[in-house]
Chain A
Amino acid sequence: MSDLLASDVITPDAGETPLLSLPGVSVLKAAPMTRLSLRLREAAIPAAGEAFGAKLPVTPLGAETSEKRAALWMGPDEWTLLAPEDQLQAVFDGIEAKLDGQPHSLTDISHRSEALIVSGPKASWLLNTGIFIDFSLEKFPVGTVTRTIFHKSPVMIWRTGEDTFVVEAWVSFMDYVAGILVESAEELAVA
């Protein structure tokens, strides 16, 4: 899990058994967290970052992290802000207070999705069974975050380490995503 130092927001859900645990790859459910969708105009970016406690990345597909905070670039005026589960109200109120008077939209989406932590030397191979993105480190360096498609489900992928990815999907898609990941990894168990 050392890869995960990129963010202390995403942690394995202690109560859950791993969905998959093979020498090549493991799949763990992440613990619940605060997720906020923040939309605003360019002028408000610095203030919002200040209020949140992590800068809002302006580089496409970029992520900025600080202690207990991660701000993920989702689009040119869209960020997903991550924080520990119990800090929802504080973070929400803090940003709203700071951005008062500046056009913006802050929406709680904490429960909308669930996250998996896919890690191991075969992690990118496993993702590539359903995702058409080049996960080589040159093309998809650590820290890259993007939405994409996994088979027939929309997902979000955040590379938090060379061999570690956070895979998020809307809750009702998670059985599908996790199910196919586990099924596709089955052949890795063959010597």
Chain B
Amino acid sequence: MSQPFRTEKGGRIDRGEQLTFTFDGEEMQGHKGDTLASALLANGVHLVGRSFKYHRPRGIVTAGSEEPNALVGVYRKGDQTPNLRATQVEVYQGLEAISQNRFPSLGFDVGAVNDLLSPLFPAGFYYKTFMWPKAFWDRVYEPVIRAAAGLGKPPKNPDHDTYGNIYAHCDVLVAGSGPAGLAAAVAAAETGAKVILCDEQAEFGGSLLSDENATIDGKTPIEWVQETIAKLASMDNVTLLSRTTAFGYFAHNYIALAERVTEHLSDPDPKLPRERLWQVRAKEVVIASGAIERPIVFPENDRPGILLADAGRTYLNRYGVKVGNKVLVATACDTAWQAAFDLADHGVDVVAIADLRETPPENLVAIAQARGIRVEAGCVVTGTLGRKRVKAALLGRLMTSGQVASAGQVACDAILMSGGWTPTVSLYSQSRGKVVWDEAVGAYVPGKSVQNERSAGAAKGLYGLQATLEDGYAAGEAAANAAIGKEAKVTYAAASGGEAGQGAVLGALPHDRNASRVKAFVDYQNDVTAKDIKLAAREGMQSIEHIKRYTTTGMATDQGRLSNMNALSIASGALEKPIVDVGLTTFRLPYTPTTFGLFAGVARGDHFDPVRKTPSHDWVVANGGVYEDVGQWKRTWYFPKSGEDMHAAVARECATVRKSVGLFDASTLGKIEVVGPDAAEFLERMYTNPWKKLAPGRCRYGLLLNDAGFIVDDGVIGRLADDRFHVTTTTGGAPSVFATMEDYLQTEWPDLDVWITSTTEQYAVAAVQGPKAREVIAPFIEGIDLSAEAFPHMSVKEGTFCGVPCRLFRISFTGELGFEINVPRRHGKMMWETLAGEIEKHNGTAYGTETMHVLRAEKGYIIVGQDTDGTVTPQDAGMTWAIGKKKHDFVGKRGLERPDLVAENRKQFVGLLTKDPKVKLEEGAQITVAQNPATGTPAEGHVTSSYYSPAMGRTIALAIVKNGHALHGKSLYVPMPDGGIEVEVTSPIFFDKEGARLNV
């Protein structure tokens, strides 16, 4: 079989290039320029899919992106894409497509039994049943429903393709390249405005590509399109984007476009992105999205071989494909007549034109008669025959009584239908504009512009080639003028032919069949019939939104672009309300389904989120360190030696720090340089602690609250000079602390002469902790007397480390003698490697965050975010000492005075020791008074931190416990699934309570 339905000549396909593709494994031929749909039709294939609910055989209905039936899966090198519209899939050599929603095969589908059972499945049937027995919903009904539902099969493998992104600005964005869009683009471009013209199709021209009869400036439409595009392409201020769908219209004239870059190629270069997201800020937008033809709702209007008339004409003229050999045209609109004429002129037997109008235009009737086409006026289709392909139509005559009388049967292998046209208002609707009902057009059309956009041509219900062109030019001129204030000087092209068609029908047609037996489809894909809509109305669904949700009409992948108007009309009849009072559902973005990968773009793996590394990174990797993610940072969790698990590594690291010395990368801690004459005053207001009397060269622990009174951050702050502080924050808190400081500084205290600068990444920080810390750093530090007297605990001084400037802090988060050395970041690697080498000489160790946590827990130091959770006050944390008693105000002070923050029974920070020293509590475990509390017993608190403590030779834990400060020495329980664990409440300071080790 070699394309038996291909015409002899004509069309936009390249007949010289033959391409082989497969559909459900069967090899077929097509041409360059074909869509899968046109190629299938050329091969005589109409049956391409099964419907969602009843699994009825379905064929190609349209030639555009609104196609409801012809959804296929496409395979390419292990990548699989479901639900692609055959009308949009371009044929390439080797294309592999499969039909969907059928088992075992498209021809024989067991799901088709649903069609026989359909009387049981009216709209919303599932709300009324499947409730008994109760347990069956999860186990039986739902799995069956889920397996039956869905269209294509989901992709099974990770996607190999990449996706690009580009941000663009333009003066005028024109969406759609039919006559109106092209004219608008030309007019706007002539002013010099920056223009982007996009069209979802492979080729620019829209409806002009399938019009063989009209002329523009004496040229064929295609010649005119080619000239126009060539001209636009030559202009520097114009960007032409084919295969590019404007799918989203957002606030402030922000339009998202999806460009399909490689999908049409047989063997795309892997360097090319599969698709590219264009995010365009347009000063003005011209929506030239055209109109789409409406199906007619007659019984059995869904058989393969029944298409929209304009689709039939497009397949013929643009793709050189006849939709059948014996074609019936059923219409309410003039435009379908032209399709009949074109088909007849290509030798197709047009068996009849059935026009439901009593008196179709005489000129059309005359042309038809001249071609020998039978014309049936006042005639409707009342049914069709043929299971997998239509083979005959039943005709009926409309009587003045409103009844329908049978008018016999006509054999055919295709039916072209036209219920008139519906302007495509999706983008306008997305722009938040409100559509208005236009009685003359018989459709909803764009109302007032809410954003800087205007619709042009058929998109606003304006039909006829000449009118559309003129409107397009005018829209382009107006848009450019609004965008850049320049008038266009473009000569309008003049068209002949392509007249606007008259006539339309909405809603279900009357027929003489048994209404309870036949199905007249409104929404093909979701199998919604006219009966379903009437049922919804009968059941009290009054809003169109209810009807939509109850019947699922308009919820298919075309978002109701084909079905909405018919559904509205049927609802209007059933509710006995004018159509405008039924309401209209909103068109949501995207205009057509849009690939997830396009939205995700480059964000995957390391580019999903920045991987922030410190200068020790390479060394850590080389030495087997294990990382943990802390925000975007990679922090070393622990450094296992060979054969060590985490527990062993941490135990060794802890013991080593206490015994000799450890090296820790503290670079990720937030650092903020606070400078200016009012620096101390500013910190005084921000932190709970007093700062004014802190001498230069000294440090203090700072506690930061929010104005509600809860702890949000902490860190050591060193005073480098009267007017200069070095503030540290937690790693995760760095950005928010900085933002909070800026907030207070700029908006509450702009009079203060102080500025803050983030220096987090200016410095690399190494913490050297342990009894031998001084010995370790001494060889490298110059300019600072490290003796205990000259440089006591909580000191800071500037000097050099290996000759590079450093800020040396004597501080400790371990309870040991400790130093933190800050060097300019580029020297961080050198510092780390120098110190790593040095600690080896002292049998020291590098240690990670886990050991840091254990060591600080032994000392009862809190970790904000672990031991506090945003509901803890300084008093709760036992840190009243950190509050400057004489301060009149600081952030959080007033909040702390609120009734619940000074109430009894607050949860307070304590230590816990399990009765059995080997039992390690689980972090997050709850604490109760009873050993085996009843379910629902309120907890007294919870375990915030829990570790094995090498220094204590046992487990230790920190916790927040109701009235905990008063409970030291008392027993409580930590209830676990296998029984409560007895714990003693203690001071949170387990090790070196006097702090002697700090001050050596």
Q: Do chains A and B touch in the complex (CB under 8 A)?
A: yes
A74 to B678, CA, bound (A): 22
Q: How many residues of B contact A (CB 8 A)?
A: 47
Query: With a CB–CB cut-off of 8 A, which chain A residues contact B194?
Result: 136
* Residues from chain A with Cβ under 8 Å of B904 in the complex: none
The complex places the Cα of A153 from the Cα of B614 at a distance, in Å, of 17
Q: Which of B757, B758, B763 contacts A39 (CB 8 A)?
A: B757
Cα A108 to Cα B673 with chains together (Å): 10
- A121 shortest CB reach to chain B, Å: 13
Task: Kindly count the residue-residue contacts between A and B in the assembled complex, taking CB atoms under 8 Å apart.
Answer: 118
Residue of A nearest to B753 (CB): A103
- Chain A, residue nearest B272 (CB): A187
Contacts of A176 in B (CB 8 A): 606-607, 610-611
* CB-based contact A112/B762 at 8 Å: yes
Residue B75 at the chain A interface, CB threshold 8 Å: no
A189 touches B824 (CB 8 A): no
Q: Are A113's CB and B676's CB within 8 A?
A: no
Cross-interface CB contact of A110 among B164, B757, B824, cutoff 8 Å: B824
CA distance A153 to B606 in the complex (A): 13
Q: Which of A47-55, A62-70, A127-135 has 4 or more CB atoms under 8 Å from chain B?
A: A127-135
B761 and A129: CB pair below 8 A?
A: no
Q: Are A107 and B610 closer than 8 Å at their CB atoms?
A: no
CB-defined contacts of A78 to chain B, threshold 8 Å: 755
**A39 and B272 in contact, given A107-B675, A130-B165 (Cβ under 8 angstroms):** no
Q: Does B778 contact A (CB under 8 A)?
A: no
A104 interface hit (Cβ, 8 Å) = yes
* B167-A111 in contact (CB<8A): no
A128 touches B168 (CB 8 A): yes
Asked if B272 contacts A190 (CB within 8 A), the reply is yes
Are B609 and A105 in contact, CB atoms less than 8 angstroms apart?
A: no
Q: How far is the CA of A105 from the CA of B269 in the complex (A)?
A: 53
Contact of A180 with B by CB under 8 A: yes
Give the residues in chain A near B760, CB-CB below 8 Å: 112, 170
The yes or no answer to B826 lying at the interface (CB within 8 A) is yes
Does B450 sit at the interface, judged by CB under 8 A? no
Verify if B537 is at the interface (C-beta below 8 Å from A). no
* Residues from 130 to 184 in A contacting B, C-beta threshold 8 Å: 130-134, 136, 139, 151-153, 170-173, 175-176, 179-180, 183-184
Nearest residue, chain B, Cβ from A171: B761
Residues of A within 8 A of B676 (CB): 39, 103-105
B827 to A, closest residue via Cβ: A111
B271 x A128 contact (CB < 8 A): no
Of chain A, the residue at the smallest CB distance from B824 is A111
A109-B613 contact given A128-B167, A134-B169, CB 8 Å threshold:
no
Name the residue among B164, B167, B613, B676 with the largest chain A CB count within 10 angstroms. Answer: B167
Residue pair B606, A111 in contact (C-beta under 8 Å)? no
A93 at the interface (CB under 8 A from B): no
CA A31 to CA B30, docked complex, whole Å: 57
Q: A107-B673, A132-B167, A136-B169 are in contact. Are A180 and B602 (CB under 8 A)?
A: yes
Residues of A within 8 Å of B827, CB to CB, are 111
Which of B601, B609, B757, B826 is in CB contact (< 8 Å) with A107?
B757
Within 8 A of A (CB), among B715-765: 753-763
* Residues of B with C-beta under 8 A to A128: 166-168
Write out the residue numbers on chain A whose beta carbons fall within 8 Å of the beta carbon of B757.
37, 39, 105, 107, 109
Q: State which residues 105-141 of B face A: CB under 8 Å.
A: none
- Are A103's CB and B677's CB within 8 A? yes
B166 touches A110 (CB 8 A): no
Q: CA of A78 to CA of B675 in the docked complex: distance in angstroms?
A: 13
Which of B602, B609, B763 has the most chain A CB atoms inside 10 A of its CB?
B602
Q: Does chain B have a CB within 8 A of A3? A: no
Q: Are B165 and A39 within 8 A (Cβ)?
A: no
Question: Does A111 contact B825, Cβ atoms closer than 8 Å?
Answer: yes
Docked CA distance A99–B611 (Å): 39
Binary A-proximity of B358-382 (CB < 8 A = 1, otherwise 0): 0000000000000000000000000
How far is B162's CA from A129's CA once the two chains are assembled, in angstroms?
13
Q: Which residues of A contact B603 (CB under 8 A)?
A: 151-152
Question: Which of B272, B601, B755, B825 makes the CB contact (< 8 A) with A105?
Answer: B755
The yes or no answer to A106 lying at the interface (CB within 8 A) is yes
**B279 interface residue per 8 A CB criterion:** yes
Binary interface encoding of chain A residues 30-45 relative to chain B, with 1 for a CB under 8 A from any of its CBs, else 0: 0010000101010000
Least Cβ–Cβ distance between A27 and chain B, in angstroms: 15
- CB under 8 Å from chain A, chain B span 654-707: 673, 675-678
- B741: shortest Cβ distance to chain A, in Å? 13
**C-alpha spacing A167/B611, complex, angstroms:** 18
- How many angstroms between the C-alpha atoms of A128 and B756 in the bound complex? 31
B466-482 interface bits toward A, Cβ cutoff 8 Å, 1 = contact, 0 = none:
00000000000000000
Chain B, 146-193, CB within 8 A of any chain A CB: 162, 164-169
Cβ-defined contact, B607 with A179, below 8 A: yes
* Interface residue from B606, B607, B675, B824 paired with A106 (Cβ < 8 Å): B675
Query: Taking the complex as formed, is B59 at the interface, i.e. its CB lies under 8 A from any CB of chain A?
Result: no
Identity of the chain A residue whose Cβ is nearest the Cβ of B167 in the assembled complex: A132
Q: List 11 A-B contacts (CB under 8 A).
A: A32-B826, A112-B760, A132-B279, A134-B281, A136-B194, A152-B609, A152-B610, A175-B610, A175-B613, A184-B165, A187-B164
Across the A-B interface, the 7 shortest Cβ-Cβ residue pairs? A105-B675, A39-B755, A172-B612, A103-B753, A105-B755, A176-B610, A111-B825
Given A172-B613, A173-B612, list of 14 further CB < 8 A pairs? A77-B755, A105-B675, A107-B673, A107-B759, A111-B763, A112-B759, A112-B761, A128-B167, A151-B601, A151-B602, A172-B633, A183-B602, A184-B164, A187-B273
